[in-house]
Structure 1
């Protein structure tokens, strides 16, 4: 029974040890012979010669004094029992235990969504799978204080970590990440035919196909127009974080005719229903059947205005002589802008907007100095002082400059990383993102098998900000191995077998 007790004591440290605990068990072999004195020697170390104790038995020949090589023999004598020497050297069962605090333990980090990047005090530890990440930690290491979880499209979450558990044990911590709600939405436009003009609440936003981003949530009035087609109109709702799609199938104006306009002298500006259509002589098609108001103007001449009727499939001819003003006191301005649809004012008086692929002509401008201002939402105002000569036309061409926008060129090694600016997905690397409002942005790149790349960039007006990211591969996660239970069971079974054998003898 004392042997079982000793074996039990040897098993207790082994059960508490981690995978790094080495348990070496050596069970001394005893040969039991009824009439012979058994002497056990373990030749692992050399010790000073000692005398082997023998047990006198009536029918046993006492063994002569023998020099045995033992590390530290222990002699057990009993009147009717064979002598058994139990060595206490390294040949007996040895459990190597780590020094106190030198083992390993684990933190189990649970998250409500998968794919969360876990950081301990800012140091990356891995990514959760099936809602958990197990992080191995040395008990002698510096205790971590805070765990943080991050995932694209979700707000980050942080919690204080519990104390480092004892060697071989686990501690749990739970993180809840909430989806990030975008603050703006988008409208994607397409049309048949392509190239139609897009207007949102009356403002020009380009031609189809096109997507307009960064729109505040709400209701917008949409108009899509194309020459020779009826204008498409609708009311659309913009929702944060979503794209509203508008696909306009424009209906051709089938009943139209043509106007051939001439004047004497030539070069008069032609206006049909208030819209500029170039200078005489000019043939203008795509006019809807019916009556139209036509104006012919030329600096130094009296303006002509009248009504003409357009017939389907026919050409209506107009040829008007203009009366010269003997001493003209006014001239004209011919104005164009890039982009078009910009508002035009002269000396603070509004004269309409610049047309697409054409010019805005402003007549009856008194001779002398005048200030022309051209403005368009999202662009800097264009202002210029021009001199108007009586009886002549002064030309003004304005190229508008975007207000407060720049761009960012983003690359990564390897390529194919998903780009997030302020948590909004912009595509994958490499990519140039134009028309960004100037200011600071939080950029995050994600790629399977790599740690997230995060940084802060500054977009400057009229400039391109370069970003080059070197992605770092995610280190493999080491899982804890099972404690050495099987060797302990084997040791106990061997001890029980030895006791049964001794009882038989």
Structure 2
């Protein structure tokens, strides 16, 4: 009984466990029912909608974690028709693939235009255009080439161009098609109103005048000549003038041919003399004899006469010869002075050697020394790293003597050089107090054969401060000295200035009784010391003072003038009484005289 119960309980336990396992297996199967969809399109970049909801993704794209079952996919791309919706079956643990080929939205075919256009150009441009269309003449403002007519009805149109100075062009037909342009180009033909004249002559080279205006030389074609009659004249030196008249027609060429007639020969003469005589005569470069001489058969015009004589400068002039007359030339020849100096051409290998002529520095090789007095001279050449070279050369007046040498290297020189320049040039050079020469504006002055060590170089130039410096000289080397001279201070002034002003102004100023001007006045260059200043103005009292002047100083003299006093008039009463008394006396005398006469 107990065993039976135990068996039943065991069986029930096994059944329960199997039931639990089944439940768990079923639940596990439901949880794992998840799949995915891979979506692509041609072209790519399409927006994806899943089950009617945009998922914010574009193709290609894989949608994951989808429940098993049926889902709806739609694709959208601008310019293409919408794709879908289409159903996709999702299986647990698998990826479903969806690929869509999108269809472009067709572009609507444009409706062809119902009109065309005409583009009109011309050479030259600016021609007025007349247009007739199937609908009638073009109505509107006047238009000129180049111009394009638009909205022209299809059909046959007529174009005509006109331009002042040119022949009318057209009319010509132009076919206009709807939706396409038509082109018209016209080359305008000028209206010919002028002609040409072709002129030739024998001989050629004659000057041509048309209506008295110079045009060129033959052979010549003159164009753009107005129609009508014109005068032609040909001139050529040595030939008679040739005139004629010619008629010119528009668009045609008139021909003129002239055979020129030589003019009778006409010549003149040149009478040539010189002091001294015997000079060789050349006329226009050709020898004609010796002075005095009269040269005949000379063509009219300007000629060059040149005289040559040994020991004298050449002499030349230009003279005009007239046919049938004699032109006169008289020359006073200038002697060539006998040379008093010669030249020495100095060169060396290597070049750049310092040249000394009779102990005076002259520059560096190669160089030609000028203004050398005749006689024997000593040439010395010195070059750093080479032995000094000395030679004697003889100079003749007016000639050049040549000196050329190859210097010998000196492996162990014992002296050095100093190169001296100054601004300004012309300064006296002193080496350790000994005069050496003057600085030059063209090249440095070289002091040679200087013992190694420290030396003093000083420069002096009138109007400039003394300049001095120390310089170290090395064996075989060249030390350089360049001086910028400082102008000397001007001497101290020994005079002063007096500034005179007055109230009122315009007064005459006298210094030491000498008139100087009117106020206000500044008197300069007044010597040091005491001076008397007087100021005078009509209607005012004279004013004077003493002024002390110091060198370089200015003394101010302000003056306030005083009006002159008005004179007091003399009393007139005594004069009047005296006149009355005199009159009474005279009157009494006259009355007494008349009374005596009556008695």
Same fold? TM cut 0.5: no
**Richer in strand (by share):** 2
Bigger relative contact order (CA 8 A; separation at least 6): 1
Larger Rg: 2
TM-score (normalised: structure 2)? 0.30
TM-score (normalised: structure 1)? 0.35
